[in-house]
Structure 1
Amino acid sequence: MSITDVPVIAIDGPTASGKGTVAHGVAQALGWHVLDSGALYRLTALASFLQKIPLDDEPALAQAARNLDVRFAAGEIFLEGQEVSAAIRQEEVGNRASRVAALPAVRQALLARQRAFRLAPGLVADGRDMGTVVFPDARLKVFLDAAVQARAQRRCKQLIEKGISANLDDLLRDMRERDARDASRSVAPLVPAQDATVLDSSDLSAEQTVQAILDLWDKVLRDNPRP
C-alpha cells in the first residue's frame, strides 16, 4: 500500500468543539492512528515561550517548529524530555498557539511532520486545516462545529475537572477572539472544506459524535469501495 492509498478521516473545527476526544474515539473504533495537529502548534507555542521568542519573529518561530524535540508515548507528550501534556492545554498556551498558527512559515514548517502521521491501516487527523491543506485527498472530511456557548461551557468543565480555575465569561471572550483569528488568517483559515460534512455537536455527547462519524465512514465505504 502506497502512502497515498492509506485512508484518512479529517476532522476540522473550532477550539473546544470536541475534535480531539472524538478523533481518538473514531481511531480507537477503527484501529487507526491519530494525529492531534493542534498539539504540534501548542508545542511550538510552548517551546517558543520557553525560548523567549517574540511573537513577531516569524523566522525564529518557524525554526522552533522545525526543531521541536517531541515524543508521543502512551497518551503522554514530551518536549525536550519533559512531560508537557497538561502544560500545553493551558489557555495561555492555546492563545499563543492560535497566534503562532497564523504565521505561514510556521505552518509550512509543520506540514511535513503532520503528513508523516499517515500510516497504514489509516489515520484520523484533527485540526483546523486537515481537510483543506494537510490531507486534501482525505476520503472523509468532517467539520465539527458547536455553538460558542456550548464550547466555552465544555472547556470550563474540563479545566475545573483538572483542578484548574476557570471563568466562563473569560473563556467565552477568549474563544470568540480565537475563532475570529483562526477564521480570518490569510493562510489556511478555519473553514469547512468544500466536500466536508458539517456536523453540529452542540447537543451531542462525545459517544454520539463518534458514532455519527463512524456512520459517515460506513457510507463512504458503501458508496465508494476501494480494494
Structure 2
Amino acid sequence: MIVTIDGPAGAGKSSASRALAARLGFRFLDTGAMYRAVTLAAVRRGVDLEDEEALAAVAADVEITLDGARVLLNGEDVTRAVRTFEITTATRYAADNAAVRARLVEWQREWANETDVVAEGRDQSTVVFPHAECKIFLTASEGVRAERRFLDLVARGEHVTRHEVLEKQQQRDSRDCTRTHGPLVKAPDAIEVSTDGLSPAAVVDRLLEIVERCRPQDSAHASGMPQQGDPS
C-alpha cells in the first residue's frame, strides 16, 4: 500500500509522516531529503545551481540512501547538513530542474516498489504515485507554519529571525505552487488535514484513521481491521 502526504513547507509533513510510517510498520520515503541532498552535493562541489545541466549531472552522479531517520550522501551521514537554512533555501534550484526531478522520481518509484510506504513531499499524489491507495494533503496556516520552522531552525543552532523565515516561506510557497514541473497541488482525491491547533500525536492519530479507511479490503482483512460497511 502507498500512502502519499503532500503539503506546503512547515505543515509538519516530515515528522507526521515518519511517525505514521512507524505506527503502520511501513517504510518512510522523505523525498524532500533527496532534493536537499542533491543541493548539498552541488554546493560542496562549487556547482552553479542556476546551471541546469551541471546540477542534473550532480543528481545523476550521487548516491542517496534513506536509512531510517538518516540521510546518506555517498555513504556520508548528512542528516543535519541537509536541514540547514542555507540548503533549505537553495533546494529550489533542484526542485525546479526537470532533469533532477525526473531522476529523483525514478528513484522514488524504485524505492517504493513492492513495499508498503508512506511517501512525503510536494508531488507524491499528483506525479510520483498518482494511483496511491491513500492520498493526504497536510496543511496549516501561514503563521503557524513559519513559527514551527523558526523554532526548528533555532533548535538546530541556526541564527535566523522570524521575519526572515516567514519571508523565505512565502517565496517558497509561491514557487512551489507555480513551478512548471511537479507543482504543489492538492490532488482531487486527496483528503485535506489542517494541523492548526493539533499536537503532533493528534495529527498522527488523525492520519492513521484516514489510512485505515483507505486500506484495500484484502489488507483490512489480513490485519483484522473492519472493512467499509463492517461494524467497528
TM score, norm. by length of structure 1? 0.91
Unaligned runs of 5+ in 1: 1-6
In the alignment, the residues of structure 2 paired with residue 194 and residue 103 of structure 1 have an alpha-carbon distance, to the nearest angstrom, of 25
Please give the alpha-carbon distance, in whole angstroms, between the structure 2 residues aligned to 1:75 and 1:200.
24
Q: Which of 45, 61, 73 matches 2:55? A: 61
For 1:72-123, what per-residue CA distance to the aligned partner results, in whole angstroms no more than 9, with x for missing partners? Answer: 3352222233321111001111111122201111101111111122155510
1:160 maps to what in 2?
Answer: 154
Q: Is the 8 A contact 2:28 2:68 kept in 1?
A: no
5+ residue gaps, structure 2: 220-232
In the alignment, which residue of structure 2 is the partner of 1:99? 93
Aligned to 1:33, which of 2, 27, 35? 27
Q: CA 1:195 to 1:48, structure 2 compared with 1: closer, same or farther past 3 Å?
A: same
Amino acid at match of 1:193: A
Please say if residues 62 and 106 of structure 1, whose CA atoms lie closer than 8 Å, have aligned partners that are also in contact.
yes
Question: Which of 123, 127, 130 is residue 133 of structure 1 equivalent to?
Answer: 127
Superposition pairs of residues 1-227 of structure 1, within 5 angstroms: 7-221=1-215, 224-226=216-218
Query: Could you tell me which amino acid in structure 2 is paired with residue 184 of structure 1?
Result: T
Quick one: distance in 1 between partners of 2:190 and 2:103?
25
User: How many angstroms apart in 1 are the aligned matches of 2:106 and 2:163?
Assistant: 37
Identity of aligned residues (%): 34
Give the distance between the partners of 1:73 and 1:225, measured in 2 at CA.
30
Distance across 1 between alignment mates of 2:60 and 2:105:
10
Alignment-mate amino acid for residue 185 of structure 1:
R
Q: What CA RMSD, in Å, does the superposition of the two structures yield over aligned residues?
A: 1.5
1:106 and 1:78 map into 2 onto residues whose CA distance is 18
AA in 1 matched with 2:170? R
Letter paired with 1:217: V
What's 1:4 paired with?
none
1:62 partner letter: A
After TM superposition, give the deviation of residue 211 of structure 1 in Å.
0.8
Question: What is the identity, as a one-letter code, of the residue corresponding to 1:26?
Answer: L
Cα distance in 1, alignment partners of residues 4 and 65 from structure 2? 22
Per-residue CA deviations over 1:136-171 (Å, capped at 9, x if unaligned) read 111010111111110111111112222222211100
AA partner of residue 218 (structure 2): R
CA distance in 2, matches of 1:74, 1:133: 24
